[in-house]
Amino acid sequence: MPTYSVAIVGAGPAGYFAAQALQNLQTPELQFSIDMIERLPMPWGLVRSGVAPDHPRIKTVSKVFEKIATSEGFRLFANVELGSDVSIEELEEKYDAVVIATGSALGKTLGIPGEDLAGSISAANFVPWYNGHPDFANFHVSLDCETAIVIGAGNVAMDVGRMLALEPNELDVTDTADHAILGFKKSNVRKVYISARRGAENAAFTSPELRELPKLEHTNVIMSKSDINAAIERAGESPEKEVKSNLDAMLLITEQENKGHERTIEFLFQHTPVAINGIDRVESITFAVPDGEVTIPCGLVVTAIGYQAASIEGIPYEKGKVVNVEGHVRNNLYVVGWAKRGPSGVIGTNKSDASDVMDKLVSELKSPKNSGDVTELLIGKKYIDQAGWTKLNTHEVAEGEKAGKPRRKVVSHAQAREISGI
């Protein structure tokens, strides 16, 4: 009975779904030993550090990840960094196949004047800050202004806008990082604009997200009815299903009465940012609009216009993605998830994507190498295995229960290592 060794680099949704696909492909004649390598002391990727804390239902997919991780033949190696601890070439040498599942963590930039001013930040930094990512615990967010502007027309932009405009006490029962809850409670932000370059018919929001907005208890949500009617007209008589669903949801928002709350989210369509203005920090932003230009005073600008993958030495990259053909990079090296196709789809999209690539991987397997594994490369290096992660996970959940939260996240690398027992 041949057993093939596969190393998966990255313990986010794409990595776990790749492992699951391999587990599902096992037969009495074909078995896999799967080693998952993760840079951080904790796994789960965007499920932990990307999903908005006020959307806990989406995070329940972590139960699927834990089932995958506790299946026979699976091992976790967290706190192990590709490049400094092991190289991609070393993994390719030892394993029958290597799968890159490192995602896309770098925020795309606008390329306009003033983008480097204090108070101009990327959602790629802001989102992990409020989600307790240990790399961003000390990131500075300027919340001492009354008006914030979020640039982008996808669900990340909406998450950012919502987090800025929520009544902060609503976050007490979530797993928002303690430092972020404190920051939001001290925040002066009361008006949040979410700006989109194109019309509403082209927005990448999803309708379930839009339909939740009117349910916000302490926040006004404003959309211009004329903007949405114009978008409906431009979309034509037979728009795509997703477009129609979005526009229907937006129309419902326009019909909501202004509830007179202190906090407001307002959507601006056909607003293209051309300059962020200020001397030492953000003071305003100028947009090109259909009939000229408009400048809006603000003290915080959050850019949420997409992500790209951070390059890994020894792997070819182009346009923010790993160069690949249907997930195959070279020889026994493959790629899945956002690192493969760019930041598109929802968490579940990674499941079918990973399944297709693993089918391809299995079809191209040769005889097993039997040439060792990552433990031989980590002699003297402290790593966190599944048992160590279970300790950390149990600790966070227990601390959360004391405070009426799903978990209280550990946001320090050192503390995470200590609790994990390394």
pLDDT at 388 over 90: yes
> What does the block give as tokens for 287?
């947009």
Q: Which of 403, 375, 410 is nearest to 389 (CA)?
A: 410
User: What is the mean predicted confidence (pLDDT) over 281-309?
Assistant: 96
Domain count, the chain: 2
Lowest mean pLDDT among 230-244, 260-274, 389-403: 230-244
Sorting pLDDT into bands at 50, 70 and 90, what band is 2?
confident
Residue positions counted in the chain: 422
How does pLDDT run across 170-226, given as a tens digit for each residue? 999 999 999 999 999 999 999 999 999 999 999 999 999 999 999 999 999 999 999
Q: What is the DSSP string of 58-77?
A: GGGGHHHHHHHHTSTTEEEE
* Residue where one domain finishes, among candidates 276, 305, 334: 305
For 57, counting Cβ atoms within 10 Å of its Cβ (0-12 exposed, 13-18 middle, 19+ buried), the class is: exposed
> Is residue 72 a part of any domain in this protein?
yes
pLDDT at 393 over 90: yes
- Report the predicted TM-score, pTM, of the whole model to 2 decimal places: 0.94
The domain spanning residue 129 has which CATH number? Answer: 3.50.50.60
Residue given tokens 């390394």 in the structure block? 422
Domain that holds residue 11: 3-105+308-383
- pLDDT of residue 127 exceeding 80, the answer is yes
349 and 218 in one domain? no
Q: Containing H/E element for 107?
A: strand 106-107
At 357 the pLDDT is: 97
In angstroms, rounded to a whole number, what is the distance separating the alpha carbons of residues 255 and 12? 39
Mind listing the pLDDT tens digit for each residue in 218-258? 999 999 999 999 999 999 988 899 999 999 999 999 998 88
CA distances from 341 to 43, 100, 310, 336 (A): 21, 12, 14, 8
Does residue 170 lie within any of the structural domains? yes
Q: How far apart are CA 314 and CA 5, in angstroms?
A: 21
Does position 56 have pLDDT exceeding 90, yes or no?
A: no
> Do 247 and 313 share a domain, yes or no?
no
User: Where residue 324 sits, what CATH number does that domain have?
Assistant: 3.40.50.720
Average pLDDT over residues 411-418: 96
Q: Mean pLDDT over all residues of the chain? A: 94
Same domain, residue pair 140 and 235: yes
Q: Do residues 242 and 262 share a domain? A: yes
Cα–Cα distance list, 139 to 15, 50, 161, 169 (Å): 27, 16, 18, 22
Shared-domain flag, residues 202 and 323: no
Q: Do 80 and 86 form a contact (C-beta atoms < 8 A)?
A: yes
Q: Over 70: is that where the pLDDT of 1 sits?
A: no
